[in-house]
């Protein structure tokens, strides 16, 4: 390989990720307000080629996203498994394994990988900006997202 070719191959392209956001106390806080920076982070994720899904343990939350004018960013909505996370994906109609989840419930993050977000957000909250940075790094990381066999199951 020539030096130039080596340089080109070193130029990493971000891997498109399926990013799953929880709703309650992740995007929408206890007072019904949207967490800071949600719209900017959704815009940045879409611009980077990632796909945004929204899921919740209590139902399909499209209305909530429409109310906050975010529905246009969301590719699909699902009901989130609250236990046996991987096993229940199929029966809940989730057609892929999430690459990166953002959730205030640690069990979901432990199951799929992602960011365990605080369930409280002050007026200066910047946690979603940290999420964006972490996703950007993760998307450039050449390592497989999961060590378990079949972790990178291709989607039809």
Q: Which residues form the interface with Mg ion (CB under 5 A)?
A: 22, 24-26, 104
CB closer to Mg ion out of 118 and 133: 118
CA angle 103–58–84, rounded 5-degree value: 65
CB closer to Mg ion out of 12 and 107: 107
CB closer to Mg ion out of 14 and 24: 24
What are the residues whose beta carbons fall under 8 Å from the beta carbon of 120, sequence distance 6 or more?
25, 29, 30
Compute the distance between CA of residue 109 and CA of residue 114 in angstroms, rounded to an integer.
5
* Rounded least distance, CB 21 to Mg ion, Å: 10
- 3-state SS assignment for residue 8: helix
* Rounded least distance, CB 95 to Mg ion, Å: 22
* Rounded least distance, CB 109 to Mg ion, Å: 11
Cα-based distances in Å from 98 to 2, 69, 111, 145 = 37, 24, 10, 10
* Rounded least distance, CB 27 to Mg ion, Å: 9
CB closer to Mg ion out of 21 and 139: 21
Query: How many helices (H) does the chain have, and how many strands (E)?
Result: 6, 5
């Amino acid at each position: 390989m020539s030096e130039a070719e080596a340089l080109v191959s070193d130029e990493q392209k971000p891997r498109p990720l399926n990013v799953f956001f929880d709703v309650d106390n992740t995007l929408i806080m206890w007072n019904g307000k949207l967490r800071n920076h949600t719209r900017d982070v959704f815009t940045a994720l879409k611009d980077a080629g990632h796909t945004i899904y929204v899921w919740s343990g209590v139902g399909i939350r499209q209305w909530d996203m429409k109310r906050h004018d975010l529905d246009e960013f969301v590719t699909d909505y699902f009901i989130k498994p609250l236990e046996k996370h991987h096993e229940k994906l199929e029966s809940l109609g989730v057609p892929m394994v999430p690459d990166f989840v953002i959730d205030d419930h640690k069990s979901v993050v432990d199951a799929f990988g992602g960011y365990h977000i605080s369930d409280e957000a002050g007026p200066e909250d910047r946690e979603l900006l940290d999420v964006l940075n972490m996703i950007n790094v993760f998307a450039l990381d050449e390592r497989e997202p999961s060590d378990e066999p079949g972790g990178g199951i291709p989607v039809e």
